[in-house]
Amino acid sequence: MTYSRVLDPVQQALVNFFKEKKEKDEEYTLREIADRIGVNHPQTVLNKLNQLVLKGYFIREGKKYRFIHDSLKTGFSDIIQLPVFGFAQCGHQGKRVIDEYTQENIPVTMALLGTSNVENCFFVRAKGKSMEPKIHDGDLVLIRQQPSYEPHDIVFVEHKELPKLKKIIQKDNKLYLESINPEFDDVEMMPYDETKVIGVVKKIISEM
């Protein structure tokens, strides 16, 4: 599935504005951008910028938008539909993983993901604060389904029948689920816990 590359007048004005802004390396508020391109409300600017992310003209980095290019000639900007499987625990209780979640799809561009290798990938939404400041409550987290992982990876794991985003570390010949937030204690992975690594975190998208 591909997204229409035809721009409406406001979208085109934003592309032109950010192209010039990039050359001047200046920063503007949404209100200032709205005034400069001739629209009435900053929310219109925000909505159109989000549409341009989907079209592949911009990458969203936190609350900022980075202009990529004004010409789409490659398949890298194509829209794909990836499934979202509910919430993954970052400090709170939740449902069982995947099979009990209501599945929905979300359209994203290859440019937003930063890769064209999305085979066996899906999204979950983070819930809780145990992985802050890396992952925040409500963040959309891209997971590549795979059983293997590296020590530095954040993994999507099923632990005691609950989906969690954690790091797996080894201490004193024991394995633990580690939180990035120091306010949360590490949890030992006991043999009877039936812990299963489902995949590895490949991308974190904030406030989408």
Query: Same structural domain for residues 57 and 81?
Result: no
- Evaluate if residue 98 carries a pLDDT over 60: no
Give the H/E segment covering residue 36: helix 30-37
More confident position, 31 or 78? 31
- Out of 29, 56, 72, a domain closes at 72
CB 137 within 8 A of CB 184: no
Query: Same structural domain for residues 54 and 86?
Result: no
What is the DSSP secondary structure assignment for residue 15, as one 8-state letter?
Answer: H
pLDDT tens digits, 139-170: 888 888 888 899 899 999 988 878 899 999 99
Query: Same structural domain for residues 13 and 64?
Result: yes
Query: Same structural domain for residues 52 and 92?
Result: no
pLDDT band at 85 (very low <50, low <70, confident <90, very high): low
The predicted model gives 106-115 an average pLDDT of 68
CB 128 within 8 A of CB 89: yes
Largest CA distance in the chain: 63
Give which of 87, 53, 54, 69 is closest to 18, Cα–Cα.
69
CATH number at residue 53: 1.10.10.10
Predicted TM-score (pTM) of this structure: 0.58
121 assigned to some structural domain: yes
Give which of 125, 61, 44 is closest to 89, Cα–Cα.
125
Distance, in Å, from the CA atom of 171 to the CA atom of 205, rounded to the nearest integer, reads 31
Task: Give residue 49's domain range.
Answer: 9-72
**Tokens matching residue 207:** 């406030």
